[in-house]
């Protein structure tokens, strides 16, 4: 569990994005209460990329609402091979 | 039957010779029992209706094979079918399909392979090659510049694919000959043997290599001088220019690492099955990812005809375990099946297993699935009486398993039949460990995460097939090519991840129609083409006036024709189902506790049947077949 989730901040969540979804690894605080997909669209702008959202290591639907205090990661997806 | 008699020549039509047609109109026919070689001639209407590839395969199987024949009976057809776009200037068209009745599933086998063989076949003057009968001794088919000849292959039988390719090229004195062939696995009728092309591109699924082996056909060598033309070059340029301008941005993942760059990501998202679907994670998975192996194991890249992406990996290594670069390198599916599924995280072992599969001509997906199933049976004490048994996490036992499967030695003789038939022999509830659909081992897109893919595995005429399918995790992100295509049709996106909603069934209908069109045209699924791009490309090739609705109808026709074939071979709606393990959730990991129930899947299938215009028994209704122009094939 990250230190962040042990902190007293409860109205936001911690978003971690890695390459290749973004040019450089980034960690930001995002407000809870929004849909994951709406927040992620602001950061991931590469065309043709799909990914799965993990919240505290568990897959969630991107249409769900961000809960306070969670850690959000995104995993890029490919098909076939 | 006489061999080495010289080429039987066929005259090419003027439009093809002058570069104004993407097809010659000639399908090469070979009867291996009699040695006869002839051609079927088809007109423009045929190509617009069936396109080539999978469409042509289904057409011939329905039209010419007797119902319910044994797949290894000489009367089964083995069909090599490039598509209308194969060999044209459009990027992503370096592919072709191979098909027949599957020795593994008893249903449709239709596998697509990349490389150079398909384009070379069309450049040699033939839109497809349809093989029937059985040669009395091993032969290979030599096709060159509008001619064909059967040649003795006794000296090639038993050779690994790389060695066989070198021998054929030496014998015919041409290093640029392209070869489709089987290895010892196909010769020994392993039910999931592959047909290999250029040594390292597999039409891997459903045992087409065993079908080829049953005909005593070692290889088909092709070389051609004709140019695959276009009826309307300006129209084709629209799609050609779009992809040339966009592929670097949109296919960056493939350019950088190929599919093997997704090994860790797919593991982390619950896509990859671990330890025969028992576990939620595998320690050390990052070692198998291309981001790790590129530094020391992956030494080069390779590509297919008309493809600037170069996503094929070439592994090479010297040491205690050597890796022969002729056989390429492990892609995602191979890494998942031969690695994670068997609880193996040693990239060198996985690369070696991949090499052995290519050299012997084995499907890596079913090989991994069968070995992992056997490992679980061993772990649970259900297997004894053999000198050798494979164990989870033991790389050497994976490599030894492959040797034993190929040569049908010891437990390998059971494993060569595939996991479902093996479970029948073992009994004792071992069928609970199976991960199959229509007796075919699943690709590594876990239906416990991707429910629509699971429905696709269950209902597909080709058994568990991840390609002509709807990938849930793509359909749930608005930036994906799938969502772009769905929006082209006016659909709302993105889709919800879990479950199989009516919305998802609608998306499944359109995506599977599109993918069946791609597998007929035949185009690489990695390219992010949209419907309109295909409209322009197909009209550019054929000089037609096809619209988006007709593209969908072509795909739908092929799905329905394949369904009619499936039903004709004795399958029913009861067979549209996944095996038991796939309804059992993992206890930990990213998709812990998640799985459909069989009842939920059955209910979703009923909604899919209704969308397709099929009865509750999964039978296409007369009005649907009439609309698609295939009513005469239903009898």
With CA atoms as reference, the chain B residue closest to A44 would be B479
- Indicate yes or no: CB of B590 within 8 angstroms of CB of A76: no
- Number of A:B CB contacts under 8 A? 121
pLDDT, position B214: 98
- Residues 549-608 on B with a CB inside 8 Å of A are 590-592, 594
Q: What is the pLDDT of residues B505-517, one digit of tens each?
A: 999 999 999 999 9
- Indicate yes or no: CB of B471 within 8 angstroms of CB of A48: no
**Pick the residue with more confidence: A6 or B167?**
B167
- Beta-sheet strands, E only, within B32-166: 37-41, 78-82, 96-101, 108-113, 128-132, 139-144, 147-152
- Indicate yes or no: CB of A76 within 8 angstroms of CB of B474: no
- Indicate yes or no: CB of A75 within 8 angstroms of CB of B467: no
| pLDDT over 70 (residue B231) | yes
Q: Are B487 and B510 in contact (CB under 8 A)?
A: no
- The pLDDT-based confidence of A24 (bands split at 50, 70, 90) is confident
Phi, psi of B439 (to 5 degrees): 70, 5
Which domains does chain A carry? Answer: 3-77 (3.10.20.30)
pLDDT, position B34: 98
DSSP H helices, B8-150, are: 14-17, 44-50, 53-64, 117-123
pLDDT, position A3: 46
pLDDT, position A4: 46
Q: What is the pLDDT of residues B351-403, one digit of tens each?
A: 999 999 999 999 999 999 999 999 999 999 999 999 999 999 999 999 999 99
Q: What is the pLDDT of residues B406-452, one digit of tens each?
A: 999 999 999 999 999 999 999 999 999 999 999 999 999 999 999 99
Exposed / middle / buried, residue B360 (Cβ in 10 Å: 0-12, 13-18, 19+)? buried
SS (H, E, C) B327-351: HCCCCHHHHHHHCHHHCCCCHHHHH
| pLDDT over 90 (residue A2) | no
Question: What residues of A are in contact with residue B445 (Cβ under 8 Å)?
Answer: 79
Question: What residues of A are in contact with residue B533 (Cβ under 8 Å)?
Answer: none
Question: What residues of A are in contact with residue B498 (Cβ under 8 Å)?
Answer: 61
| pLDDT over 50 (residue B14) | yes
SS (H, E, C) B441-506: ECCCCCCCCCHHHHHHHHHCCCCCCCCCCCCHHHHCCCCCHHHHHHHHCCCCCCCCCCCCCHHHHH
Q: Are B604 and B456 in contact (CB under 8 A)?
A: no
pLDDT, position A45: 81
Which domains does chain B carry? Answer: 8-223 (3.60.9.10), 252-434 (1.10.569.10), 470-526+547-634 (1.10.599.10)
Q: Are B327 and B200 in contact (CB under 8 A)?
A: yes
Tell me if the pTM is above 0.95: yes
- Indicate yes or no: CB of B269 within 8 angstroms of CB of A52: yes
Option in A50, A75, A80 nearest B259 (CB) = A80
Percentages helix, strand, coil for chain A, rounded to the nearest 5? Answer: 15, 35, 50
Task: Give the closest-approach CA distance of A64 to chain B in angstroms.
Answer: 9
pLDDT, position A48: 67
pLDDT, position A79: 58
Percent of chain B with pLDDT over 90: 96
- Residues 378-437 on B with a CB inside 8 Å of A are none
- The pLDDT-based confidence of B635 (bands split at 50, 70, 90) is low
Mean pLDDT within B15-28: 96
B256 touches chain A (CB under 8 A): yes
- Indicate yes or no: CB of B473 within 8 angstroms of CB of A58: no
- Indicate yes or no: CB of B271 within 8 angstroms of CB of A46: no
Question: What residues of A are in contact with residue B260 (Cβ under 8 Å)?
Answer: 81
Return all residues near B549 (Cβ < 8 A) that are at least 6 apart: none
| pLDDT over 50 (residue B538) | yes
The rounded mean pLDDT for chain B is 97
Mean pLDDT within B490-516: 96
Task: Give the closest-approach CA distance of A45 to chain B in angstroms.
Answer: 8
Option in B256, B269, B526 nearest A20 (CB) = B256
Question: What residues of A are in contact with residue B334 (Cβ under 8 Å)?
Answer: 81
Longest dimension (CA), chain A: 45
Q: What is the pLDDT of residues B169-216, one digit of tens each?
A: 999 999 999 999 999 999 999 999 999 999 999 999 999 999 999 999
Q: What is the pLDDT of residues B255-304, one digit of tens each?
A: 989 999 999 999 999 999 999 999 999 999 999 999 999 999 999 999 99
B354 touches chain A (CB under 8 A): no
Which tokens sit at B582?
A: 């796939």
Using beta carbons and an 8 Å cutoff, which residues of A are at the interface with B? 20, 37, 41, 44-52, 54, 57-63, 73, 75-81
Task: Give the closest-approach CA distance of B602 to chain A in angstroms.
Answer: 23
Beta bridge partners of B320: none
- Indicate yes or no: CB of A77 within 8 angstroms of CB of B473: yes
Highest mean pLDDT, choosing among A49-63, B85-99, B480-494:
B85-99
Option in B270, B271, B479 nearest A47 (CB) = B479
With CA atoms as reference, the chain A residue closest to B332 would be A81
Q: How far apart are CA B485 and CA B506, in angstroms?
A: 13
Q: What is the pLDDT of residues B97-138, one digit of tens each?
A: 999 999 999 999 999 999 999 999 999 999 999 999 999 999
């Amino acid at each position: 569990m990250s230190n962040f989730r042990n902190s007293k901040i409860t109205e936001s969540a911690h978003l971690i994005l890695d390459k290749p979804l973004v040019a450089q690894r980034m960690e930001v605080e995002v407000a809870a209460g929004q849909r994951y997909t709406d927040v992620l669209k602001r950061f991931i702008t590469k065309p043709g990329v799909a990914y799965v959202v993990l919240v505290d290591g568990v897959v969630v639907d991107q249409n769900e609402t961000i809960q306070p205090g969670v850690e959000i990661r995104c995993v890029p997806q490919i098909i076939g091979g | 039957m006489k061999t080495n008699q010289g080429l039987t020549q066929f005259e090419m039509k003027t439009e093809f010779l002058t570069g104004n047609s993407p097809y010659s109109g000639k399908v090469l026919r070979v009867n291996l029992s009699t040695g006869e070689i002839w051609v079927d001639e088809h007109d423009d209407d045929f190509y617009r209706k069936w396109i080539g590839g999978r469409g042509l395969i289904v057409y011939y199987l329905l039209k010419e094979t007797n119902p319910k024949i044994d797949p290894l009976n000489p009367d089964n057809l083995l069909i090599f079918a490039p598509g209308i776009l194969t060999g044209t200037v459009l990027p992503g068209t370096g592919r072709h399909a191979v098909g027949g009745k599957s020795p593994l599933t008893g249903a449709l086998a239709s596998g697509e392979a990349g490389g150079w063989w398909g384009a070379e076949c069309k450049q040699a003057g033939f839109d497809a090659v349809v093989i029937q009968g059985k040669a009395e001794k091993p032969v290979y088919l030599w096709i060159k510049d509008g001619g064909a000849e059967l040649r003795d292959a006794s000296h090639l039988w038993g050779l690994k694919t790389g060695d066989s390719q070198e021998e054929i090229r030496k014998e015919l004195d041409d290093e640029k000959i392209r070869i489709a062939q089987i290895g010892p696995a196909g010769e020994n009728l392993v039910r999931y043997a592959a047909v290999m092309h250029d040594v390292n591109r597999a039409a891997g699924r459903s045992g087409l290599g065993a079908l080829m082996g049953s005909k005593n056909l070692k290889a088909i060598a092709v070389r051609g001088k004709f140019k695959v033309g276009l009826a309307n070059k300006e129209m084709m340029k629209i799609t050609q220019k779009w992809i040339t301008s966009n592929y670097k941005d949109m296919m960056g993942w493939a350019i950088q690492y190929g599919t093997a760059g997704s090994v860790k990501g797919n593991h982390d998202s619950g896509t990859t099955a671990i330890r025969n679907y028992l576990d939620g994670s595998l320690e050390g998975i990052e070692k198998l990812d291309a981001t790790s192996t590129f530094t020391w194991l992956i030494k080069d890249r390779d590509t297919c005809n008309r493809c600037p992406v170069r996503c094929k990996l070439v592994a090479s290594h010297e040491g205690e375990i050597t890796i022969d670069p002729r056989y390429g390198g492990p892609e995602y599916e191979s890494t998942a099946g031969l690695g994670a599924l068997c609880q193996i995280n040693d990239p060198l072992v996985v690369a070696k297993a991949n090499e052995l599969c290519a050299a012997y001509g084995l499907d890596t997906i079913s090989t991994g699935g069968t070995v992992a199933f056997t490992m679980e049976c061993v772990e649970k004490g259900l297997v004894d009486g053999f000198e050798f048994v494979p164990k989870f996490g033991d790389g050497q036992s994976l490599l030894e398993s492959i040797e034993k499967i190929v040569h049908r030695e010891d437990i390998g003789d059971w494993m060569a039949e595939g996991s479902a038939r093996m479970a029948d022999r073992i009994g004792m509830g071992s069928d609970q460990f199976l991960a199959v659909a229509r007796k075919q081992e699943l690709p590594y897109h876990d239906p416990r995460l991707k429910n629509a893919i699971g429905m696709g595995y269950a209902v597909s005429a080709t058994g568990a097939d991840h390609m002509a399918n709807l990938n849930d995790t793509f359909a749930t992100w608005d930036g994906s090519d799938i969502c772009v295509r769905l929006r082209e049709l006016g659909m709302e996106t993105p889709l919800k991840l879990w479950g199989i909603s009516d919305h998802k069934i609608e998306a499944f209908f359109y995506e599977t129609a599109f993918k069946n069109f791609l597998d007929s045209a035949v185009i690489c699924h990695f390219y992010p083409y949209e419907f309109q791009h295909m409209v322009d490309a197909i009209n550019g090739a054929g000089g037609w006036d096809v619209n988006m609705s007709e593209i969908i109808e072509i795909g739908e026709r092929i799905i329905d024709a394949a369904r009619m074939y499936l039903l004709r071979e004795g399958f029913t709606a009861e067979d549209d189902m996944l095996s038991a393990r796939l309804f059992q959730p993992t206890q930990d990991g990213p998709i812990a506790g998640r799985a459909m129930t069989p009842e939920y899947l059955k209910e979703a299938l009923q909604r899919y049947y209704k969308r397709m215009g099929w009865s509750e028994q999964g039978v296409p209704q007369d009005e649907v077949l009439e609309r698609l122009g295939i009513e005469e094939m239903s009898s």
